[in-house]
Chains A and B, each alone.
Chain A
């Protein structure tokens, strides 16, 4: 995405230009924060995670091979950090943040049924994603929220493209089962066929 600019900024940083690191942070802050939020579903926790990732980046930047791997490095470190945070925290992540409540209320304030349904659906979506195994969750989040290609996901996760395909297939199958109540279609047949 910003490979050429990343290269230049990394070279400047290695030459001792501290301002170039600020520019690097500004370039990648949205992607890191978005990824952190998609795992943690909490704005403050995502901000903390982004800070941690950039602090680690500052230490790792002199040893980073090339700017080509910078995005993959950021995604991988951010994912691992967020999964660790998620694992350590006792919070099951089912509660909506204030901002999400405000957003939901702002959309359909006149329809409590819609609010309740979407609130519950939001909880169910997070619960379903959190229940995914780590590799499947990582592949799904990188694809669904970050719109990465299979090759980029494989670079980030350090596995083959075929493995990413398999992770995505299993993740979507799990999500389909978990969220079947909100789709209005039965997934019993799928269970019986052993696709999950």
Chain B
């Protein structure tokens, strides 16, 4: 276990380092600089600004000094929000995003598995058909259409929930629902398919012949095995929640990380872009690691040391 963890961490470190370096240099490849706004600066002023932020030095030395600051836990100050540390901007924007993504993931998991079990259990009944209709529409409807329909129904027509913003619990309902819909659908379908497959396995017949009740067989024996492929899905789903949350945050005007993602790059706010990349990288990597570890918990047959 320990050996596996170390190996994974090392591998993670490589990919992470690549991500950082690639972002840093790709960003500089792009034409335009952080202070090329509407105003045209006199050359002396421009040279002064560049010198102040070290932008006149060679790229590699800029990168090294940025990395040295990072090692001390300093993410520097934003170019766009002058004087505001990047760390402050991110720590303000992170909670809404994490809350949105976390709730969406939780709802998708619980409801998705529940729907999947229900439709596999009551196969070929109206319950199964309506659950799968929901699942297919969740996979095929684009997020912005789901958001539009929900807003039109619950805010515009019924007037129950606010159409945007992130203030109280009521305002969180629609964004979370929107974001959770697609992963929920994917999980429900996957659970149903694998559960139906597992139910044909020999050990299920054995369990039945031992005289166990149907619910016990379903939940204790079948579901645990059926969930393994579902766990595999969690890594791509988490990645999709991050992208999806950008769309949802835009539509519902949530003050999360999403708003900074695109604007910071367009503003060429180098320190903020690097801070965002770091944050997303860490979230993504932690999720992938968590998935790897969950495998071992659900299925003791999977030996992590030998794998990968």
The answer to whether A and B assemble together is no
Write the residues of chain B forming the contact surface with A, with a CB cutoff of 8 angstroms.
none
Write the residues of chain A forming the contact surface with B, with a CB cutoff of 8 angstroms.
none
